[in-house]
Amino acid sequence: MKVGWRFWILIVILGLSVLAIGLNFQSGVIIQSVNPDSLAYEQGISPGEIIKEVNNKKINSLEDYTNSMNSLFPTNEEIRVDFLTDKSNYILFTNETPNIIVRDIPSTNIQTGLDIRGGSRALVEPEQKLTDTEFQDLIQVSQNRFNVFGISDVKIRSVTDLSGNQFMLVEVAGATPTDLEDLVAKQGKFEAKIANKTVFIGGERDIVDVCRNDATCAAITQCLPIDSGYACNFQFTIFLSAEAANRHADITSQIPVDPSSNGQYLAEDLTLYLDDIKVDSLRISSGLKGRETTQISIQGSGTGATQEDAFLDAQLSMNHLQTVLITGSLPFKLEIVKLDTISPILGNQFVYLILLAGVSAILAVGILIFIRYRTFKSSLALLFTSFSELVIILGVAAFIKWNLDLPSIAGILATIGTGVDQQIVILDEAQTGKETSIKERMKRALFVVMTAYLTSLVALLPLYWAGAGLFKGFAITSIIGITAGVFITRPAFAEMIKRISS
C-alpha cells in the first residue's frame, strides 16, 4: 500500500516527538541542590551532576544513596567520603551527612507535576489589588525566601480566575503544608525596637549578613526539661548596616542604666517583633550605651515533648527567623485560599491506572472497529494513529517543558477519545456515499473534523483561566492534542483509509 505525503509528515513528527521525549538508562542519582554554605559546595560538587559511586559502592537509585548515607552517618569522628560523579571525583572529610539533595534520574525528558511527584501546593491571594509590577516583586521575594530557607524545586507563578482575581500559585516538591504556611501565609515583617523605637528591620537595607551553618555564631545553645517536655534555646549573630548601627547608638544614648542590674544592663530591652507579635526580649549591656555596634546576637527557643522534638523545633524556628532577617518581609499581606498536599505514591498509582485504562480503551475501540467494519487494516490504522497522537502530545510537552499533572493526563485521555470519534467519522464517510469519489468523501469528513476542532478550541480556552489556573494543564494538553490531530494525525489517517478503500 502506497501512502502519500501526509503519512510521511506524521512519521517525521512522530520521530521528532520520540527524540523530544528521550529515554535515559543511566544509573545513579542526580544532584538537585547543594547548600552554598556546606563542605560539599566548597569542594566543587554542583547541581546537575550524577553520583555514580559512594566509597566505591555503586549507586543505582535514591534508595541506594540513602542507605549509603545512613550506613556512614551520624558519627562522632570525621571520616573520608569519596563521591564519584559523571564529571569528577570528590573527597570530603566530615562527621555529618553532606548537605546535598538528590533524586532519581528521570527516565525521560517528560516533566511531571506536583500531583505525581508529591509535595504541597498553595493558592495564595494578596489582601489588596496589585499591579503587574507589584505582583512580580511579590513572586521574586517569595522565591528568594524559599531559596534562602533551603527549599528547592519551587515553582511560583501568577494566575487569575475568570473574574479577574489575582492569585499566586506556589508548588513545592517534597515540602509539607507547614513549610508553605510558614513561608507564604505570613508576611514576615521583622522589627527590633528599643523603647518602642525601631532600631532595624529584616532585609538587606538594615541586615548586612546573618550567620548560618556556622556553629561558632549560630547554634542550639542548650536544652532543658520543662513542665510540658523540653525547651531548647538557639542563638545566632547578625551584622547590621552602618545606618542601623547609628540608629542603635542614637536610641541607646538616651536610655539610662538599670540601677537594679548593678550597672550591667540598660533600663530598656531590645524587643523583637515578627508580624507585630512579640517573639523575644533581650537585655542590652550597659557597655553598648551610645555605641555604634554592627553585631547583634539574636536568641529564641523551641519546645517539644522530647528533647529531640524540642531541638528540631528550635532549629526550624532559627532557620525561619534567619530567612526572614535575610529576605525581609513580603511586600504584601497574603491569604492562603487553598492548600493541598499530594502523596507521590498515590499520584504514581493513579497515573498508572489512568494510562492502563486509556491503553485498554484504545485497544477495545480497535476491536470494535474491526467487528464493525470487518477490516483489519482500518483497525490497525486507527490504533497506530491513536498511539501516534499520544506520543506527539507527550513529545510537545517534553519540548516545551510542560509539567504533566493529573489534569494534563485527563486532557490527554479526553483528546484521544475525541480523536477516536473523529476517526470513526472518517471511516463512516469512507464506507458510505459510494456515488462520490473517495477523495470527496475524505474532504467532507475532514470538514466535519475541522468544525469540531474549532468548537472544542473555543470551549477549551476559558479553562486556561478557570479555577485560578488549576485546570490549565487540562486545557494545554487538550489544545495540543486536538491541534496535532486536526493538522497531522487526522489527515494521515484519512490518507491511510483512502488507500485502503481504493
* 251 inside domain: yes
Counting beta carbons within 10 angstroms of the beta carbon of residue 350, is it exposed (0 to 12), middle (13 to 18) or buried (19 or more)? Answer: middle
113 occurs within a structural domain: no
Give the CATH number of the domain where residue 46 resides: 2.30.42.10
Are both 194 and 316 inside the same structural domain? yes
Q: Which pLDDT score is estimated for 12?
A: 93
Contacting residues for 100 by C-beta, under 8 A, at least 6 apart: 31, 33, 34, 35, 38, 40, 45
Residue 121's pLDDT is 79
Into how many domains does the chain fold?
A: 4
* 453, 496: one domain: yes
Q: Which of 104, 127, 159 is the last residue of a domain?
A: 104
Is 114 domain-assigned? no
Nearest to 137 by CA among 182, 162, 163, 168: 168
Range of the domain at 131: 119-187+335-342
Q: How far is the C-alpha of 98 from the C-alpha of 31, rounded, in Å? A: 12
pTM of the predicted model as reported, rounded to 2 decimal places:
0.55
Domain end call among 301, 320, 342: 342
Q: For residue 436, give Cα distances in angstroms to 41, 492, 502.
A: 73, 21, 13
* 158, 134 contact by CB (below 8 A): no
Give the per-residue pLDDT at 36. Answer: 65
**156 and 53 belong to one structural domain:** no
Contacts of 349 (CB under 8 A, 6+ apart): none
The CATH number that applies at residue 137 is 3.30.70.3400
Residue 216 φ/ψ, nearest 5 degrees: -75, -20
Q: Specify the residue for cell string 499581606.
A: 333
In a domain, 72, yes or no: yes
CATH label of the domain that carries residue 18: 1.20.1640.10
Q: Are 127 and 120 in contact (CB under 8 A)?
A: no
Do 149 and 212 share a domain, yes or no?
no
Same domain, yes or no, for 324 and 351?
A: no
Whether 496 and 381 share a structural domain: yes
Region label for 214, one of left (φ > 0), alpha (ψ between -120 and 50) or beta (otherwise): beta
Examine residue 112 and state whether it is found in any structural domain, yes or no.
Answer: no
Q: Are residues 99 and 126 in the same domain?
A: no
**Claim to verify: residue 352 and residue 442 sit in the same structural domain:** yes
Give mean pLDDT in consecutive 10-residue pieces for the chain, a chain of 502 residues.
77 91 82 76 85 92 87 86 92 87 78 70 82 77 66 73 80 64 67 88 81 82 87 89 90 90 86 77 84 84 86 82 71 76 57 68 77 79 86 88 79 82 80 69 79 84 68 85 88 84 68
Same domain, 477 and 420: yes
Do residues 491 and 350 both lie within one domain?
yes
| Whether the Cβ atoms of residue 378 and residue 444 lie closer than 8 Å to each other | no
Last residue of a domain, one of 78, 104, 130: 104
| 18 and 37 inside one domain | no
User: What pLDDT score was predicted for residue 283?
Assistant: 83
Q: How far is 172 from 181, CA to CA, in rounded Å?
A: 12
Q: What pLDDT score was predicted for residue 322?
A: 79
* Shared domain check, 351 and 489: yes
The answer to whether position 176 is within a domain reads: yes
Q: What is the pLDDT of residue 16?
A: 92
> What pLDDT is stored for residue 330 in this prediction?
67
Asked if residue 75 is part of any domain, the answer here is: yes
Q: Is residue 156 part of a domain?
A: yes
Q: With the CA atoms of 138, 144, 146 and 151 taken in that order, what torsion angle do they form, in degrees rounded to the nearest 10? A: 150
